[in-house]
Structure 1
Amino acid sequence: MKLNGIKTLLATAALAVSGSVAFAADYTLTISSWAPPTHGINAKMWPKFVEMVEEATDGKVTAELKLGIAPPPAQMDLIMDGAADASIIFHGYQPGRFVTTKLIELPGYEGSAEAASVAYWRAYDKYLKAADEHRGVKVIALHTHGPAQLHTSSPVTSMDQISGLKVRIPGGVGGDVGTALGATGIQVPAPKVYETLASKAADGVVMPLESRKGFKLTEVAPNVYEMPGGLYRGSFAFIMNEDTFADLPEDIQQALEENVFGEPLSREIGKIWDEIDAIGRDETQATEGNAIQEASAEDMEKFSKIAEDVRAKVIAEVNEAGVDAQAAYDMIKSEMSSN
């Protein structure tokens, strides 16, 4: 058993992500996370992961959360190097490294983050993993955030007003949509969004509604321009060090594969994102000076044409990666409608 990742516990109890003193586990996974401590990723998603792992392994495996080990774009390499055992990555932070992941980010999907995350995993398992874009790590879940909307310091009541704005937009499809809308894109990791808006370095940001609370946007971007279905959906993966997994006993590996990794964890994470999006909306509606402006029918029609162009561009890119992009896209749409 290698000691640079999983550590055998010598104490009689372990402090898990939930913060509660638990039973004596045999192995503790070190989780690296880059989101703020109170963000739903750390407050809800990782605790759910630990709960599922502990239940599946009868308490033999637990985990502890560490923040600030490395910035968001470095998480993939961090896990590959064994500096931590598990992490969450946002694919858009590493342009050029991931292409097939852009399929789930496309605007126009109808359905919850839970439905999208389940559909994403199934399409990955059947089509996308053949591209081997996560080589060097073990993918243990895939998920999306909820529909991303525009959050601004000044009110935006029409899509035409977006052109010329300085907007923090992530990579991936979010960047494609921002360019199509005429926004001047500013790329900073999510943890830097608050200070970027507070310093007036950007006029707005495109993020899901959970960010109203998770990144305190109610304080620096009181206006939301909401497009039904969102401007895009962000793509995430929960990843694990390959040696860490290989060093676990075979019965534990099997328990994790059957009960936690893949669709079960993807579903639970997506479900949590739906929950924190609802919390973000409630936070906005309860905060004085905040407002949500729904896109007009005219803007929705304009955006549908933009979405169509972006979709064609992405499908062509994914095809070049050796994946049947149209089949994967059709599967995601079909799976989302049935979940």
Structure 2
Amino acid sequence: MKQITKLLAGAAVATMVSFGAHAQEVTLTVHHFLGPKAPAQSKMIEPWAKKIEEESNGRIKFEIFPSMSLGGNPPELYRQVRDGVADIVWTLPGYTPGVFPRLEVFELPGVHLGDARATNLAMWDLRDEYAEDLTDIHPLAVHVHAGQAIHLTSKEVRTVDDVKGLKLRTPTRTGSWVIESWGAEPVGMPVPALPQAMSLGVVDGGLVPFEVVPPLKLAELISYSVEGEGVNSRFGTSTFLFAMNKDRYESLPDDLKEIIDRNSGRDFAAEIGDVFNGVEEVGKRMVNEGKGQVVQITAAEKATFDDASASVVDRWIEEANSNGIDGAKLVEDAKAAVQSHTK
């Protein structure tokens, strides 16, 4: 009888432990560098978090900390998620040069063709080719924005000769290489610092998508925003990483992991692309309704920029090869994948 009682008691404890694990509730912190009204939070992170909260019946909750409100500066975000300071971050791999050598390929001239959805799907297709870059974190998404226009405080530019000598902001080293190839001077800084830099004359302008014009109030500072026409209308793009601390992810019960996994795959990458494509027109409208104007240069004028920056690809391939990466193959694969998804 005593043995039966012990067995029943043991079964009861096991059931309680099992139920407790299954019913575990977690709150995950999300840290990023833009404000709460920026599309990255309002149209990407918040809907994603809400969907997961609903699918988990409230067992997963999120606390979102915009504008670096957990401390530090934007280049520290990757370290913060890697080390567990934040559970999840949204950041640019380009803020930590050398850590993501393969992901850089999507920023190179001629790879991104102006459609964030197409490039995001290409990034998903090629995920095995850059997986080694992401071994220290659990990736939720890698993506790009719609592409960079050249936003200027005073001078209108139409060809590459017009930008020579100008100081232009960029967030990444590949962006710096492009600006140098044009004969301009790159100034590296996270995008939240751009408005002050433009207003004080530290830079003559910057390479950013129209998406950030509203949250950063850049329309008050821009005289000209320059882009091309049709496919390949932009001047490259930046890659972004939405990532979770690896140990934090592994600590979740399997059913909660499955919910996060289900909302972090190919469809999510496509949705992010649609978000960033969709917010560009708002920024354009704000420029035109403000003190500035959007200038669309001709294909021939755009080609002067593209021809000048072609050397950047060769430079990147040479460096990749020196690090044991087949740079030429990665560029070829990235271009083909993007083109396959571009309408």
Instruction: Give the TM-score taking structure 2 as reference length.
Output: 0.84
Q: How does 1:228-239 map to 2 (within 5 A)?
A: 228=229, 229=232, 230-239=234-243
Q: How does 1:1-339 map to 2 (within 5 A)?
A: 26-67=25-66, 68-69=69-70, 70-108=72-110, 109-123=112-126, 125-129=127-131, 132-158=132-158, 159-228=160-229, 229=232, 230-257=234-261, 259-285=262-288, 287-339=289-341
How far residue 98 of structure 1 moved from its aligned partner, in angstroms, is 2.4
C-alpha distance in 1, partners of 2:307/2:138?
A: 37
List per-residue Cα deviations over 1:17-64 (Å, max 9, x = no partner). Answer: xxxxxxx99221111111122211122111122033234434421211
Counterpart residue identity of residue 150, structure 1? I
Identical-residue share of aligned pairs (%): 25
Asked if 2 retains the 8 angstrom alpha-carbon contact of 1:223 and 1:291, the reply is yes
C-alpha distance in 2, partners of 1:52/1:322?
A: 41
Q: Which protein shows a greater Rg?
A: 2
Counterpart residue identity of residue 327, structure 1? K
Q: SS of the residue aligned with 1:221?
A: coil
Q: SS of the residue aligned with 2:279?
A: helix
C-alpha distance in 1, partners of 2:255/2:24?
A: 15
Match of 1:9 in 2: none
C-alpha distance in 1, partners of 2:44/2:137?
A: 20
How far residue 189 of structure 1 moved from its aligned partner, in angstroms, is 1.1
Counterpart residue identity of residue 178, structure 2? V
Asked if 2 retains the 8 angstrom alpha-carbon contact of 1:106 and 1:307, the reply is no
List per-residue Cα deviations over 1:279-338 (Å, max 9, x = no partner). Answer: 2122223x1421112223432222232242222222333334444433333333333333
Counterpart residue identity of residue 41, structure 1? A
Structure 2: 5+ residue runs without aligned partners?
1-22
Asked if 1 retains the 8 angstrom alpha-carbon contact of 2:124 and 2:266, the reply is yes
Match of 1:13 in 2: none
Residue 55 to residue 119, structure 1, CA distance change in 2 (3 Å): farther
Asked if 2 retains the 8 angstrom alpha-carbon contact of 1:222 and 1:291, the reply is yes
C-alpha distance in 2, partners of 1:284/1:152?
A: 11
C-alpha distance in 2, partners of 1:184/1:146?
A: 24
Structure 1: 5+ residue runs without aligned partners?
1-23
Residue 263 to residue 318, structure 1, CA distance change in 2 (3 Å): farther
C-alpha distance in 1, partners of 2:264/2:322?
A: 29
Asked if 2 retains the 8 angstrom alpha-carbon contact of 1:165 and 1:183, the reply is yes
Bigger Cα displacement from structure 2, 316-325 vs 33-42: 316-325
Q: SS of the residue aligned with 1:210?
A: helix
Q: SS of the residue aligned with 1:63?
A: strand
Asked if 2 retains the 8 angstrom alpha-carbon contact of 1:142 and 1:262, the reply is no
C-alpha distance in 2, partners of 1:55/1:323?
A: 42
Q: SS of the residue aligned with 2:203?
A: coil
Moved over 6 A (4+): none
Counterpart residue identity of residue 30, structure 1? T
Q: SS of the residue aligned with 1:133?
A: helix
C-alpha distance in 2, partners of 1:325/1:263?
A: 25
Bigger Cα displacement from structure 2, 33-42 vs 234-243: 33-42
C-alpha distance in 2, partners of 1:56/1:307?
A: 46
C-alpha distance in 2, partners of 1:317/1:188?
A: 23
How far residue 92 of structure 1 moved from its aligned partner, in angstroms, is 1.7
C-alpha distance in 1, partners of 2:27/2:91?
A: 21
How far residue 141 of structure 1 moved from its aligned partner, in angstroms, is 0.5
How far residue 275 of structure 1 moved from its aligned partner, in angstroms, is 1.5
Higher helix proportion (structure 1 or 2): 2
Q: SS of the residue aligned with 1:328?
A: helix
Bigger Cα displacement from structure 2, 36-45 vs 71-80: 36-45
